[in-house]
């Protein structure tokens, strides 16, 4: 569950985003109707030798600070705060610079493994020039070339070696969820209202492990919940905390660590582009999703106000048609007590497993109801469906030719599954395979 994070730091133009893209290697598949997900590529998933990690390009955060020195300082601080392992990139062509030394000095103070990579070592002579960089005191520099892709294997071997071991895989019965949304929609207010003023938040100790930023509570039935990244919802006043890209990155990381994501909208403001960004990511990441429309107390209501708002959400977030919508107020606490139950239900739906026999009855009925399409004179044939994993529910469907399973028929099958089983709040993935 807790995927480690690797951050890339370094001066502008040393090749951070080039290396970032190399490591991510375009593995991100863009779901056709999800807008805005991969626009800002500063956060993505990487993997090496079966080790998964999240990767951040701190250079892409662009804090817009006046002083260049402040900017790289803040970026290095973000790396220290967010990452388990830091890749510090320098440029062999410019040799060692004063700014490299500044960054190194900030990184020394962190209790995090730092791996020094010297980029643009495109040929053997340049690879000789990396010895200067020993003076940074960060151990052996790794010569790499982002444009040629050389040296990355050794670098990633070292990264993987330094990743934290997956030790805390204790049976976690806690339902992990996060509240995401742009600033001022009321996330912190919701957190406080849900926890109740008298409940002490014990786990918020700044600067310790990642878990310390999560908050646990228990509902009446004894079900434990973990609110992910509670600390990120409070403003702590660092320069970078209020920048959009930083908060988006933070939200993406919280989504990755959650099973259910509460997308918080502000009823008094309506829906804006920024809301779609993180919601799209939650969908892409296959998390359970609930829309929480907050500040419902501020809205003048008549009989169909709620319906109208619902329609607007459905229109703006078409790909999230499975997400339930609740209208709440952190201020008056209206309907807040329903939230834990709803989160629990979505969590159950998200992790449910359906037996193949039942599944194939549904499939048979579906194909009878709507015959499979004819594509360029060839008919799609579906033979068998089986659930291969949960969280999110993922089904493999065996067909004569995977190319023939178009979006619309896939959509139809997903809808049939939704009609038969309760998958509210959960995405459904269908993967076609050719039957041998």
46, 146, 232, 392: which one binds ligand GDP (CB under 6 A)? 146
13, 174, 400, 416: which one binds ligand GDP (CB under 6 A)? 13
40, 81, 99, 122: which one binds ligand GDP (CB under 6 A)? 122
Residue 31 assigned ligand-binding role: no
Please report whether residue 247 would count as binding ligand GDP according to CB under 6 A: no
Which of 306, 321, 23, 290 lies closest to 149 in space, CA to CA?
23
Please report whether residue 210 would count as binding ligand GDP according to CB under 6 A: no
Please report whether residue 41 would count as binding ligand GDP according to CB under 6 A: no
The nearer residue to ligand GDP, 278 or 380, going by C-beta atoms, is 278
Please report whether residue 55 would count as binding ligand GDP according to CB under 6 A: no
Residue 44 assigned ligand-binding role: no
Residue 182 assigned ligand-binding role: yes
Read off the tokens for 423.
């998958």
Please report whether residue 329 would count as binding ligand GDP according to CB under 6 A: yes
7, 83, 233, 279: which one binds ligand GDP (CB under 6 A)? 233
4, 59, 280, 425: which one binds ligand GDP (CB under 6 A)? 59
Please report whether residue 54 would count as binding ligand GDP according to CB under 6 A: no
Give, as ranges, the residues between 274 and 313 that touch ligand GDP (CB under 6 A): 294-295, 297-298
7, 16, 290, 354: which one binds ligand GDP (CB under 6 A)? 16
Please report whether residue 331 would count as binding ligand GDP according to CB under 6 A: yes
Contact 372, 409 (CB under 8 A): yes
Please report whether residue 189 would count as binding ligand GDP according to CB under 6 A: yes
Residue 233 assigned ligand-binding role: yes
Please report whether residue 145 would count as binding ligand GDP according to CB under 6 A: yes
Residue 294 assigned ligand-binding role: yes
Contact 107, 27 (CB under 8 A): no
Give, as ranges, the residues between 395 and 424 that touch ligand GDP (CB under 6 A): none
Which of 258, 322, 245 lies closest to 285 in space, CA to CA?
258
Q: How many residues bind ligand GDP (CB under 6 A)?
A: 31
Give, as ranges, the residues between 343 and 382 that touch ligand GDP (CB under 6 A): none
Rounded distance between C-alpha atoms, residue 292 and residue 301, angstroms: 17
Pair type for strands 175-180 and 260-266 = parallel
Rounded distance between C-alpha atoms, residue 244 and residue 68, angstroms: 19
Contact 21, 119 (CB under 8 A): no
How far apart are CB 306 and ligand GDP at their closest, in Å? 15
Number of C-beta neighbours around residue 7 at 10 A = 25
Which residues contribute to the annotated binding site for GTP? Answer: 10-17, 57-61, 119-122, 181-188, 229-233, 294-297
Q: Given the rule CB under 6 A, which residues bind ligand GDP?
A: 10, 12-18, 59, 119-120, 122, 145-147, 181, 183-189, 233, 294-295, 297-298, 329-331
């Amino acid at each position: 569950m807790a995927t480690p994070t690797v951050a890339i730091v370094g001066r502008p133009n040393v090749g951070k985003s080039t290396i970032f893209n190399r490591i991510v290697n375009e593995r991100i598949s863009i779901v056709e109707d999800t807008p805005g997900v991969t626009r800002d590529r500063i956060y993505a998933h990487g993997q090496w030798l079966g080790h998964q990690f999240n990767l951040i390009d701190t250079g892409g955060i662009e804090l817009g600070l006046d002083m260049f020195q402040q900017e790289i300082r803040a970026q290095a601080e973000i790396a220290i705060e967010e990452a388990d392992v830091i890749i510090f990139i320098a440029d062999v062509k410019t040799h060692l610079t004063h700014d490299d030394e500044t960054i190194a000095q900030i990184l020394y103070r962190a209790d995090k493994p730092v791996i020094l990579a010297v980029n643009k070592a495109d040929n053997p002579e340049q690879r000789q020039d990396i010895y200067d960089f020993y003076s940074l005191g960060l151990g052996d520099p790794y010569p790499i070339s982002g444009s040629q892709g050389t040296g990355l294997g050794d670098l990633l071997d070292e990264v993987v070696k330094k990743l934290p071991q997956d030790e805390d895989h204790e049976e976690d019965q806690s339902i992990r969820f996060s509240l995401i949304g742009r600033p001022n929609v009321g996330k912190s207010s919701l957190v406080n209202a849900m926890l109740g003023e008298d409940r002490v938040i014990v786990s918020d100790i700044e600067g310790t492990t990642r878990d310390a930023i999560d908050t646990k509570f228990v509902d009446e039935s004894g079900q434990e919940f973990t609110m992910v990244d509670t600390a990120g919802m409070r403003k702590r006043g660092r320069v970078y905390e209020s920048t959009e890209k930083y908060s988006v990155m933070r939200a993406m990381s919280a989504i990755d660590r959650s099973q259910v994501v509460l997308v918080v909208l502000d009823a008094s403001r309506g829906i804006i582009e920024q809301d779609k960004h993180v919601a799209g990511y939650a969908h892409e990441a296959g998390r359970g999703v609930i829309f929480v429309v907050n500040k419902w107390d501020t809205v003048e209501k008549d009989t169909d106000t709620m319906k109208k708002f619902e329609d607007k959400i459905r229109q703006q977030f078409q790909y999230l048609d499975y997400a339930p919508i609740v209208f709440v107020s952190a201020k008056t606490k209206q309907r807040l007590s329903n939230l834990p139950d709803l989160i629990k239900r979505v969590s159950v739906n998200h992790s449910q497993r359906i037996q193949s026999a039942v599944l194939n009855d549904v499939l048979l009925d579906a194909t009878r109801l709507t015959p499979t399409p004819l594509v360029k004179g060839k008919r799609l044939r579906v033979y068998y469906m089986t659930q291969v994993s949960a969280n999110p529910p993922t089904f493999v469907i065996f067909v004569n030719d995977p190319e023939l399973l178009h979006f619309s028929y896939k959509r139809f099958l997903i809808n049939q599954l939704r009609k038969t089983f309760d998958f509210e709040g959960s995405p459904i993935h269908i993967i076609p395979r050719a039957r041998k």
